[in-house]
Amino acid sequence: MKKFLLVVISIIFPKIVLAYSAESMIALDLNSGRVLYEQNAYEEKLIASTTKIMTTIVALEQMDLDTEITVDERVLKAYGSGIYVEIGEVMTLQDLLYGLMLRSGNDAAIVIACGVSGSMESFVTQMNQKAYELGMSHTIFYNAHGLEENDGRGNTSTAYDMALLMRYAMKNQDFQTITGTKEYVGKSNKKTYHWTNKNKLLRTYEYTVGGKTGFTEKARRTLVTAAKKDDEGIAIVTLNDGNDFQDHQNLYEVLFSKYDLVTIVKKNDVTVPDYDFYKNDEFYLEHDVQLLATKEEMDKIQVSYDMNSLEEYKSGDIVGVLHVSLDGKEILQNRIYIRKNIEVVKEGILQKLFGWLFGW
């Protein structure tokens, strides 16, 4: 009954319901990257242990999960939340990442960073490089755990940038599995660990599929979560929010009721109007173009194409860009790839062969 009333009131009085405790907040469509709700989403703030989303994705992209890492004396620099590893313990990267994400182990962050890149400094360089690649233009990392440095500096980002990061990370199957795990048993050469995920939405809100909590005295409570209902996926980020779990759940309920998932173009069904330069070939996309939209918005979605007419090309080349706009504002872009028509290619080779043999 509470959820029903929330949805009804949100439709009639959206500004009343969409009032949350967070200083910064955003909701992002995981499919398209469309911003569904924002509140001071571009204000730079400390992000505390939500940093560990970036730590995890950088580690996953640099090292195999079954790689063993030995804990050394550098772990003694860790304080705050931890999984309490000891010098000399040997653990797989997989177990360390579960300890990092489920229990927010600052000691695990140090061991991972040094094990993957040789030092915290080298690992942080990779974190910042990845942030640059993702377009996180208002983000800077100083460490892999999220605690403020001795000089007062701390990892800083915006709700929008962290939503971009979560959208990217959720495309990684290993990340999805780790962040969505409620309970995990990890092992080293010395101990067995039993961990419960600190993200309580995994147990209290049925559509939650992942996320990361965070807290320091300066940053206060930070939270990044993702939820999926049917094929609709949304990420929510809150920075400095004393009521974060409830705020996330309330906003998910409103957005899942308000928006429907719309398929704009299927990945293997791309037709560019009034364009026949590649008339014997096929266009395709990396994935279906989908976005969350209200029923009223569906008739206002426009698709346009920018094509490159290449004289020389091969299957798999990028030959254009598909643009999707709503009310004249671009929401997303997708690269258009080409697939050469195999039958036409074979026919052309045979024609050349016979021409050479018989003087055609």
Catalytic residue among 10, 24, 32, 49: 49
219 SS3 class: coil
21 counts as catalytic: no
Residue keyed to tokens 């409620």: 182
Residue environment code for 255-293, b if the CB has 16+ CB neighbours within 10 A, otherwise e: bbbbbebbebbeeeebebeeeeebeebebbbeeebbbbb
| Distant-in-sequence, close-in-space partners of 310: CB < 8 Å, separation ≥ 6 | 317, 319
300 counts as catalytic: no
Q: What residue ranges in 139-268 does DSSP mark as E strands?
A: 156-157, 183-187, 192-196, 208-216, 220-229, 232-239, 260-265
297 SS3 class: coil
Residue keyed to tokens 């971009």: 164
Q: Give CA torsion, residues 51, 227, 134, 110, to 10 deg.
A: 20
The DSSP output letter for 42 is: T
Determine what percent of the chain falls in helix, strand and coil, rounding each to the nearest 5.
35, 30, 35
Do residues 269 and 287 lie in contact, with contact meaning Cβ atoms separated by under 8 Å?
no
* Rounded Cα distance, 127 and 269, in Å: 37
- For 184: left if phi > 0, alpha if psi spans -120 to 50, otherwise beta; the answer is beta
52 counts as catalytic: yes
The DSSP output letter for 145 is: S
Catalytic residue among 32, 45, 52, 81: 52
Neighbours of 224 (CB within 10 A): 30
**CA nearest to 200, candidates 245, 249, 234, 235:** 245
Residue keyed to tokens 């957005």: 255
Beta bridge partners of 39: 25
Catalytic residue among 32, 81, 104, 117: 104
331 SS3 class: strand
Beta bridge partners of 87: none
Q: State the catalytic residues.
A: 49, 52, 104
